[in-house]
Structure 1
Amino acid sequence: MREEVGATVEELDGIVGWLSLYGYVRATRKLDHEKALEEVLREAKSVVNSELSKLFTYSPRYRVILKAIALGYSRWSDIKDYLTLKLGYVNDANFSNLLENLVKYGYVEKRNNQYTIPDPVLVRIFKEL
């Protein structure tokens, strides 16, 4: 049991709600650790897709930027190179605005000129985008 708690915190730590949902699913549905974790991730994916659908409609570049960061690209130039490779040229000012919007919306953090996604659940979801 102790190992499950540690693994769950490592997997879902970031947004307290994911841990709460895990506990709720475990207790009310009587699911084992793996099934409860799968259920939380399925629910998280649904919530995130719903929240981001308008953003992605506005610009498909957001999806690619989030995927790049989830894959470990953390420097401005590396993220831009990934975006350019996937979708073609974007000028520096437009790219900077997109990236800063993601920071402003809270999906991405910027520290020491590096960009990360602070929530491991979101990292997992964005890798699949």
Structure 2
Amino acid sequence: MNSITKSSELKSHLPVKVQGYCTLSHAYMNLATMLLEEGLNHACLIVGQMSVKAMLNAVYLKEVDREGFIDMKRVVFEELLSLVREHDVIDLDAELFLNKVFFLTSLENISLVTTLNKDHVLMIIRRIEELLRSLSERIGA
């Protein structure tokens, strides 16, 4: 799997908070890859979702909330998806995909993830990586 962006390659023109969220997203994807290699499918998807949330935070701060009025730490994933969809950061297809990932990562649906084999989880992680790459390019990270 390819990494999104190396933290040392982050553009210096990005605000510090945005750089921080990009770095966090990258670190989460590295961890997701390690978890997948260990066969920890549910944990891998949870960390993959955390990576997406970090990158969506970065994009939202860069493009919409430039003044940082919203405390992104307090925004739950579903609310963040709604915010970024509202501002055309992601399309409907990406939103539906991310909602499915969120559904799979919830504790009450853990039994569904245990039935997924490694190849299925790998496909989900690759799709997450594609989305992260697109979001990263969007903000110039």
- Larger Rg computed on CA atoms: 1
What TM-score range do you get, normalising by the shorter chain? under 0.3
What TM-score comes out, normalization by structure 2 length?
0.26
What TM-score comes out, normalization by structure 1 length?
0.28
